[in-house]
Amino acid sequence: MKAGAVELGHASKVTQRGVNRGMSILDLFLRIIAIIATLGSAIAMGTTNETLPFFTQFVRFRAKYSDLPTFTFFVVANAIVSAYLVLSLGMSIFHIMRSRAQASRIALIFFDAAMMALLTAGASASAAIVYLAHKGNTKTNWFPICQQYDSFCHRTSGSLVGSFIGIIFFILLVLLSALALSRR
Amino acid sequence: MKAGAVELGHASKVTQRGVNRGMSILDLFLRIIAIIATLGSAIAMGTTNETLPFFTQFVRFRAKYSDLPTFTFFVVANAIVSAYLVLSLGMSIFHIMRSRAQASRIALIFFDAAMMALLTAGASASAAIVYLAHKGNTKTNWFPICQQYDSFCHRTSGSLVGSFIGIIFFILLVLLSALALSRR
C-alpha cells in the first residue's frame, strides 16, 4: 500500500515535470514567433519610403517614416523588444532544462511586463498617427495625407500588425510564467 | 533536538506567512493609488473644454477633448482600467486573508497584464497626439494648435501623468503577484 502511494507520488511528479517542460517549450515557441513579428514590424516600418512620381523644380514630394517622430519611436521600440526577446531565448532554454528555476522566472516576468509596456506604447502611438493620416481631423485642421501618399500609408498601417501580435504574445508569456511559478 | 527543528520550521512558516501578508497589503495599497491616478486622468481629460474669448458671428472657437477621437479613447481606457482596479480590490483583500491562494493570483496576473496593455495604449496614443499639438509636423502640414488653445494643451498634457503612473504601478503589481506565487 505504502509502496503504491510512493509510486503514485513519483508518477504524478514525473507528469508534473513533463507539463512544466511542455509549458517551457511553449514559452520558447511563443518567443520565437514574437521575435519574427516585432522584427518584421521594425523592418517594414524602417524601410518605408515613398517618392511621388511628380515634382517641381524645387520640391520633391517624398515621405519617409522618419518624417514623423512617432514612427521613429515605433522602429526603436520594436528593435529593442526583439533584441530583448532574442536574449530571453537563453533564459527560456534554461527553463526547459531546469523546470524548477524560480528567481529567473520572476526576473523574466518583470522584464516581459516592462517590454510589453514599451511595445504597446510604440504600437498605439503609431496607430494614433496612422489614424490621423487616414482620417485627418477637421477641428484642428490636420488634413489626411493618405490621398497623396497612398503606399506610404498602407505600409505604415501594415507594419503595426506585427507589433499588436507581439503584445498578445507577451500577455500569454506573462500568463505562462505565472502558471509555471505556481506549479512546482 | 527534533522539537527544536519543528519549532524552527514552524517559526519560518509563520515568518513566511507574515511576508506573504505584507506583500498582499502592499498589493492592495498599490491598487488604491493606481485607482486614484487613473480615475484622476480620466476626469482631468474628460472635463477638458476651452472656449476662446473671441468669436465671429458664425464661428465660436472651442476645443473639447472629444474633438480628437484619441482623447475619447484615453478617457474610456482610463475609466475601464479604474473600474477593473476597484473590482480587483476584492481579490486583493481575499489574498490578504488567504495568502496561499493560487488560481485567483494567476487570474489576477493575467488580467493585470491585459489592463496594463489597455492603459498603455490609451496613454501613449494620447501622448503622440499631444506631442503633435505642441510641435506640429511640417512635412505633413499639421500645424501646432497649442498657441491658440493653450489651456486645452496644458490640461490634456497634464492628464497623461496619472496614466503613466498607473502603468508603472501595474508593472509592480505583476512583479508582486509573481513573487507571491513563487513563495508558498
Q: What is the spatial distance between Cα B50 and Cα B42, in angstroms, rounded to a whole number?
A: 17
What does the mean pLDDT of chain B come to?
A: 89
More confident call, A138 vs A57: A138
Closest residue in B to A101 (Cα–Cα): B182
CB–CB contacts below 8 A, A to B:
128
Q: Which three cell numbers stand for residue B179?
A: 513573487
DSSP letters of B62-85? Answer: EEEGGGSHHHHHHHHHHHHHHHHH
DSSP A65: G
Residue A38, Ramachandran bin (φ over 0: left; ψ between -120 and 50: alpha; else beta) = alpha
Handedness of CA A96, A97, A102, A104 (dihedral sign): negative
Smallest CA-to-CA distance from A87 within A31, A42, A169 is with: A31
pLDDT tops 70 at residue B6: no
Q: How far is B78 from chain A (nearest CA, A)?
A: 15
Residue A20: per-residue pLDDT = 82
Q: Which residues of A sit within 8 Å Cβ distance of B?
A: 63, 67-70, 102, 105-106, 109-110, 113-114, 116-117, 120-129, 131-133, 137, 139-143, 145, 167, 170-171, 174-175, 177-179, 181-182
Residue B141, Ramachandran bin (φ over 0: left; ψ between -120 and 50: alpha; else beta) = left
Pair B74, B124: CB distance under 8 Å: no
ipTM over 0.90: no
pLDDT digits (tens, 9 = 90+) for A74-125: 999 999 999 999 999 999 999 999 878 889 999 999 999 999 999 999 999 9
All structural domains of chain A with their residue ranges? 22-52+64-183
Note whether A128 contacts B125, CB cutoff 8 Å.
Answer: yes
User: What is the model's pTM?
Assistant: 0.89
Q: What are phi and psi of B57, to 5 degrees?
A: -65, -35
pLDDT tops 90 at residue B126: yes
pLDDT tops 70 at residue B4: no
